[in-house]
């Protein structure tokens, strides 16, 4: 009595666990390699897992970076620097990926391997690292470090301090034989590093997909076996039934004198086929019910379980089984689950730009002058950068906009918040609209907003004020009925 059943051994279930291990201990160097290789193979060959990762990355890896200090000169320079730096020639040391593409690969590495890293390279560019490049090398090569550093490197490629903090990252490259060869040690100040951690003292993160890999593999196997079963059954198109048929496959007893050529039937898809059957003969098409409805339902369950690894609702894969309101609710819950993942990637970008704005302040005279005039430091600018995530796609734009209008009218939402939810900057949109209205006015272009039957409403803030009254001089209006 009064004991937790989970701690009790039972013949009806697996024995309870007795050892607690963090993820990086559970996944030793060899097991980590096996897990990553299996995951990568399933992503390459399994459409469901590949789609899940793409769907997840779309929501959590892309940002529009805004900055508003109130000082137009500083705002313009900061936004210009951000816009220039995001291009692949300025962002990636190899010149292959712009900022958004680089962050997609960064997040994909976190999903597949558990964590990802990049090196800040002299000149303001980023060098992406595959997760397995941070490792204890198979070969120390020609750049062999001191024996003390070699002995200090953990199996996961880290030199740790007394508080389990990272002192050095061991960076390797793969040679033609696929072996990891030591390249250099990198200090944490020059590394951007992030992953899916589940414990405070965990030094290398683990992929959230590991809980779903076996289910994804099983589902792919079930689909393959179902296809094979279906193909085999469809080889036999039809069956002919006769009374008194020869069990060895000969002619029926009533056709002993028949010529075999007279009873042979040849079917061709490009002509009308007439089957010459005896009176008692009948023909039936062989049909298969494979895969059965139960098998299809089971595969759906496996897909749902796999998608839970990334918090993706099943309605994102199959919306035919849910109402519109259910899809909206699923999307809202998924958006909430994405918040923490977006914040982690925004912190990675903030780390990069803390480094870049310090460099720009030192080397860009116009930027430094604008900062000093506005009394801004590079650190303050980075702190006030607004990382706005990618837009949420509309499901029913008209219905959702009507709901947003009601939210604003009740005072529980603001236009900037609603715009942000859809990846838009309300201030930027407002400025574009104001510029367009000014142009339209100067060019006599008519502007019409109201729908048919609606009452036009004047904006009292933009109309000239008229304080004149139809009253006698000295009349204060106290007796007016207005």
311 in Cβ contact with 208 (< 8 Å): no
- Identify the pLDDT of residue 473: 46
Lowest mean pLDDT of 25-29, 62-66, 77-81, 277-281, name the range: 277-281
Exposure letters 53-83 (e unless 16+ CB within 10 A, then b): beebbebbbbbbbbbbbebeebbebbeebbe
Lowest mean pLDDT of 165-169, 300-304, 469-473, name the range: 469-473
- Residue 144: inside a domain, yes or no? yes
Instruction: Give the tens place of pLDDT for each residue, 133-161.
Output: 999 999 998 888 999 999 999 999 999 99
Residues whose CB falls within 8 Å of the CB of residue 118, separated by 6 or more in sequence, listed in order: 102, 106, 126, 127, 128, 129, 191, 192, 352
378 in Cβ contact with 371 (< 8 Å): yes
Pair 184, 205 in one domain:
yes
- Residue 364: inside a domain, yes or no? no
241 in Cβ contact with 282 (< 8 Å): yes
Instruction: Give the tens place of pLDDT for each residue, 411-431.
Output: 999 999 888 888 888 888 998
**What is the average pLDDT score of the chain?**
83
Confidence of residue 223 (pLDDT cuts 50, 70, 90): confident
Peptide bond into 181 cis (omega under 30): no
Q: Which of 170, 116, 120 is nearest to 353 (CA)?
A: 120
381 in Cβ contact with 375 (< 8 Å): no
Domain that holds residue 146: 24-50+90-210
- Identify the pLDDT of residue 471: 46
Q: How far apart are CA 423 and CA 64, in angstroms?
A: 8
446 in Cβ contact with 456 (< 8 Å): no
Pair 37, 151 in one domain:
yes
Pair 154, 43 in one domain:
yes
Pair 30, 152 in one domain:
yes
Find the radius of gyration of the CA atoms of the chain.
Answer: 34
- Identify the pLDDT of residue 15: 83
Instruction: Give the tens place of pLDDT for each residue, 107-122.
Output: 999 999 999 999 999 8
For residues 54 and 452, the model is more confident at 54
Query: Residue 383: pLDDT above 50?
Result: yes
- Residue 329: inside a domain, yes or no? no
Mean pLDDT for the stretch of residues 368-374: 95
- Identify the pLDDT of residue 396: 80
Instruction: Give the tens place of pLDDT for each residue, 447-465.
Output: 776 554 555 544 444 455 5
Domain-ending residue, one of 307, 327, 348: 307
- Identify the pLDDT of residue 479: 46
- Residue 291: inside a domain, yes or no? yes
Pair 46, 160 in one domain:
yes
- Residue 133: inside a domain, yes or no? yes
% residues pLDDT > 70 (the chain):
80
- Identify the pLDDT of residue 115: 95
Q: Which of 228, 407, 412, 395 is nearest to 327 (CA)?
A: 395
Mean pLDDT for the stretch of residues 389-399: 80
- Residue 170: inside a domain, yes or no? yes
For residues 442 and 13, the model is more confident at 442
% residues pLDDT > 90 (the chain):
45
- Identify the pLDDT of residue 224: 85
Mean pLDDT for the stretch of residues 171-197: 93
User: pTM value?
Assistant: 0.77
Query: Residue 399: pLDDT above 60?
Result: yes
169 in Cβ contact with 95 (< 8 Å): no
- What is the number of structural domains in the chain? 3
3-state SS, one letter per residue, for the chain: CCCCHHHCCCCCCCCCCCCCCCHHHHCCHHHHHHHHHHHHHHHHHCHHHHHHHHHHHHHHCCEEEECCCCCHHHHHHHHHHHHHHCCHHHHECCCCCCHHHHHHHHHHHHHHHCEEEEEEECCCEEEEECHHHECCCCECCCCCCCHHHHHHCCCCCEEECCCCCEEEEEEEEECCCCCEEEEEEECHHHEEEEECCCCCCCCCCCCHHHHCHHHHHHHHHHHHHHHHHHHHHHHCCEEEECCCCCCCCCCCHHHCCCCHHHHCCCCCCCCCCCCCCCCCCEEEECCCCCCCHHHHHHHHHHHHHHHHCCCCCHHHCCHHHCCHHHHHHHHHHHHHHHHHHHHHHHHHHHHHHHHHHHHHHHHCHHHHHHHHHCCCCHHHHHHCCEEEECCCCCCCHHHHHHHHHHHHHHCCCCHHHHHHHCCCCHHHHHHHHHHHHHHHHHCCCCCCCCCCCCCCCCCCCCCCCCCCCCCCCCCCCCCCCC
Pair 295, 399 in one domain:
no
Pair 176, 40 in one domain:
yes
Pair 203, 222 in one domain:
no
- Identify the pLDDT of residue 222: 84
Residues whose CB falls within 8 Å of the CB of residue 293, separated by 6 or more in sequence, listed in order: none
Residues whose CB falls within 8 Å of the CB of residue 391, separated by 6 or more in sequence, listed in order: 422, 423, 424
- Identify the pLDDT of residue 72: 92
- Residue 334: inside a domain, yes or no? no
- Identify the pLDDT of residue 292: 75
- Best-predicted range by mean pLDDT among 36-45, 79-88, 246-255, 466-475? 79-88
Query: Residue 358: pLDDT above 90?
Result: yes
- Identify the pLDDT of residue 478: 46
Residues whose CB falls within 8 Å of the CB of residue 14, separated by 6 or more in sequence, listed in order: none
Question: How big is the CA angle at 367 (ends 365 and 369), to the nearest 5 degrees?
Answer: 65
Pair 302, 189 in one domain:
no
Pair 178, 223 in one domain:
no
- Best-predicted range by mean pLDDT among 13-17, 31-35, 467-471? 31-35
The whole-angstrom distance between residue 108's C-alpha and the CA centroid of its chain comes to: 8
Query: Residue 5: pLDDT above 80?
Result: no
- Identify the pLDDT of residue 133: 93
Lowest mean pLDDT of 49-53, 233-237, 347-351, 374-378, name the range: 233-237
Pair 126, 42 in one domain:
yes
Pair 37, 146 in one domain:
yes
Kindly tell me the sign of the dihedral angle through the C-alpha atoms of 186, 188, 192, 195: positive
- Identify the pLDDT of residue 246: 53
Instruction: Give the tens place of pLDDT for each residue, 325-349.
Output: 888 888 889 988 999 999 999 999 9
- Residue 460: inside a domain, yes or no? no
Residues whose CB falls within 8 Å of the CB of residue 357, separated by 6 or more in sequence, listed in order: 81, 378, 379, 381, 382
Query: Residue 86: pLDDT above 90?
Result: yes
For residues 160 and 227, the model is more confident at 160
Query: Residue 83: pLDDT above 80?
Result: yes
- Please, what is the end-to-end C-alpha distance for the chain in angstroms? 81
């Amino acid at each position: 009595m009064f004991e937790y059943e989970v701690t009790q051994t039972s013949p009806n279930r697996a024995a309870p666990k007795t050892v607690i291990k963090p993820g990086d201990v559970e996944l030793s160097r060899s097991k980590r390699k096996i897990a990553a290789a299996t995951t990568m193979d399933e992503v390459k060959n399994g459409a469901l897992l590949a789609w899940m990762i793409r769907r997840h990355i779309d929501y959590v890896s892309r940002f529009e970076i805004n900055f508003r200090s109130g000082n137009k000169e500083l705002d313009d320079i900061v936004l210009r620097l951000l816009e220039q730096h995001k291009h692949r020639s300025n962002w990636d040391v190899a010149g292959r990926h712009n900022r958004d593409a680089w962050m997609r690969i960064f997040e994909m590495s976190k999903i597949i391997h558990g964590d990802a890293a990049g090196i800040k390279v002299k000149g303001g560019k980023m060098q992406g690292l595959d997760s397995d490049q941070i490792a204890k090398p198979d070969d120390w090569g020609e750049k062999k470090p001191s024996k003390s550093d070699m002995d200090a490197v953990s199996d996961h490629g880290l030199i740790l301090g007394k508080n389990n903090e990272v002192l050095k990252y061991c960076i390797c490259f793969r040679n033609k034989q696929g072996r990891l060869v030591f390249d250099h040690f990198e200090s944490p100040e020059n590394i951007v590093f992030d992953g899916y951690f589940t414990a405070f003292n965990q030094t290398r993160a683990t992929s959230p997909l590991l809980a779903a890999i076996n289910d994804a593999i099983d589902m792919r196997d079930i689909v393959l076996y179902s296809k094979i079963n279906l193909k085999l059954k469809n080889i036999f198109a039809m069956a002919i039934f006769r009374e008194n048929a020869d069990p060895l496959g000969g002619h029926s007893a009533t056709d002993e004198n028949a010529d075999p050529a007279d009873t042979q039937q040849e079917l061709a898809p490009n002509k009308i086929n007439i089957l010459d059957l005896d009176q008692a003969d009948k023909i039936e098409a062989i049909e298969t019910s494979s895969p059965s409805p139960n098998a299809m339902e089971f595969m759906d369950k496996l897909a749902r379980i796999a998608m839970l690894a990334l918090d993706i609702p099943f309605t994102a894969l199959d919306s035919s089984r849910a109402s519109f309101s259910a899809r909206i609710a699923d999307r809202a819950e998924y958006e909430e689950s994405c918040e923490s993942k977006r914040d982690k990637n925004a912190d990675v970008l903030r780390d990069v730009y803390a480094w870049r704005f310090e460099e720009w302040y030192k080397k860009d005279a116009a930027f430094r002058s604008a900062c000093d005039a506005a009394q801004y430091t590079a650190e303050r600018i980075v702190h006030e950068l607004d990382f706005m995530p990618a837009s949420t796609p509309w499901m029913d734009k008209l219905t959702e906009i009507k709901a947003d209008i009601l939210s604003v009218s009740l005072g529980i939402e603001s236009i900037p918040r609603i715009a942000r939810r859809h990846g838009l900057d309300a201030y930027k949109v407002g400025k574009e609209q104001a510029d367009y209205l000014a142009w339209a006015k100067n060019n006599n272009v008519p502007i019409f907003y109201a729908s048919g039957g609606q009452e036009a409403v004047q904006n009292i803030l933009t109309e000239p004020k008229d304080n004149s009254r139809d009253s006698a001089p000295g009349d204060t209006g106290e007796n007016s009925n207005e």
